[in-house]
Amino acid sequence: MPFLKEILKYKSLSIIGTEKNTGKTECLNYIIQSLKNSNKTIAITSIGIDGESVDAVTETPKPEIEIYKNNIFLSSEKHFLQKQITAEILDVSEKQTSLGRLITARAMDTGKLIFSGPPDTKWLKEEIQNSQKYGVDLFLVDGALSRKSTASPSVTESMILTTGAALSANIPTLVKKTKFICDLIELPVFETNLTNELLQIKNGLWAIDSDNIIHDLDIKSTLLLDKAKDKLYSKGCVIFASGIITNNILEFMRIQKNIKETILIVKDFTKIFVSQEKYNSFTKAGGKIMVLLKPNLISICVNPWSPRGIVLDSQKLREELFKAINLPIYDIKALD
C-alpha cells in the first residue's frame, strides 16, 4: 500500500493535526494496526497527553490509542501505572516530567493506553535516538492537538498532517486554510553555521549582522515590540525571533523602508501565529520568513466528519486538496 510504503522509508514520523478532531489519533491507530503483524519494531509516544476516551476540552468522545504485543511505548509514570496491559519496563528516565519520570516499556499483550511523553523537542529527540538500542524500525509521535505545539515536528524524519471538517465545514475554505498551513511548513531554511546556537536561545528578538555575529536586541518578545521599535533594525535586517511571531511584528516590518531586505527567522513553522492576510501583505511588500528547522511533510490525511455532525464529500475533498497542495491525500476510513 503506497501510504504505508512511504512511511516505512523513514525511521521516525510525527502526526500533527490542523485542528482537534481532524483524525490524528485515528491515523496513528491505523498505522500501528497495519504494522502489527509485520516484522517491524514500532515505538509510540505523544507530545502532551493523548489516548483519553473523552476530550478534556470539548467533552466529546475520542478514539483511544491501541497498541499490540511487542510495541514499545513511552509514557509518564502516572499513565504507565494506569495502564491495563502487561508490559516489560526497558528504561526509567532520570529526568522528571510534570507527571513523573518517563517510562520506556515493551507491551506484552494488546490494550489501550493514555500517553504522556517527552514534553519538549530536545528530550523527544534524545528518546528517538535512544530507541535504536531496542531495534526500533519506526518511531511514531502523536503530536499536539494542533500545529501550535511546544515541540517541533521537525525532530522526526517525516510528518503527516491531518485536516478535515472540524477545521471548516466548507471545502474551499478548508482547502485554503490547509494550504496556508502547508505553505508555512514548506518555508525555506535559513542556511547558517549559527543554527545550533540560535536554537538554544529561549527568549527575545535577536539580529544577525553582516559579519555573521548574533546580537541581543533587548526586546524580550514580539508582543513588546511597540515599546522597542527603535531597536529592531539597530543591527541589520536579519532578525531572529526565538518565540512566536504574530501579526503585529509582520505589520510593523511591512511599513518599514527596508522591508525588501528584511528576513525574519523562526525556529520552525509552529512558532508562526499570523493570519494569511497579514502574511500575504508582508511577503508582497518584500519581506521574507525563513526557518531553522523544516519538517518533511510526506502526506495529508483527511477526516470528512466533525463532532458537530458535518459530513463532507471525502472524494471531492481529497481531489481539491491535491489540486492545491500536490501531496498524497488519504482518507484512513477509505483505505480498507
Beta strands 115-116 and 49-50, pairing class: antiparallel
Q: Given pLDDT bands bounded at 50, 70 and 90, which one contains residue 56? A: very low
Q: Mean per-residue pLDDT for 23-36?
A: 93
Q: Is the pTM of this model over 0.85?
A: yes
For 104-156, what is each residue's pLDDT tens digit? Answer: 999 999 998 888 888 888 889 999 999 999 999 999 999 864 444 555 677 89
Q: How far apart are CA 234 and CA 213, in angstroms?
A: 13
Q: In the structure grid, which three cell numbers stand for residue 75, read together?
A: 509514557
- pLDDT value at 51 more than 80: no
Q: In the structure grid, which three cell numbers stand for residue 314, read together?
A: 471525502
Q: Which residue has the higher pLDDT, 54 or 279?
A: 279
Angle, to 10 degrees, between the axis of helix 247-254 and the axis of helix 276-284? 20
Burial (CB < 10 A; 0-12, 13-18, 19+), residue 98, is exposed
pLDDT at 205: 95
pLDDT at 151: 57
pLDDT at 121: 80
Q: How far apart are CA 313 and CA 305, in angstroms?
A: 9
Beta strands in 245-322 (DSSP E): 245-246, 263-266, 272-273, 288-291, 297-303
Residue 194 · residue 214 · CB < 8 Å: yes
Mean pLDDT estimate for the chain:
90
- pLDDT value at 25 more than 60: yes
For 173-213, what is each residue's pLDDT tens digit? Answer: 999 999 999 999 999 999 999 999 999 998 999 999 999 99
pLDDT at 221: 81
Q: How far apart are CA 71 and CA 117, in angstroms?
A: 15
Q: How far apart are CA 10 and CA 31, in angstroms?
A: 13
Q: Which residue has the higher pLDDT, 283 or 79?
A: 283
Domains of the chain plus CATH, in order, are: 2-186+295-334 (3.40.50), 195-291 (3.40.140)
- pLDDT value at 59 more than 60: no
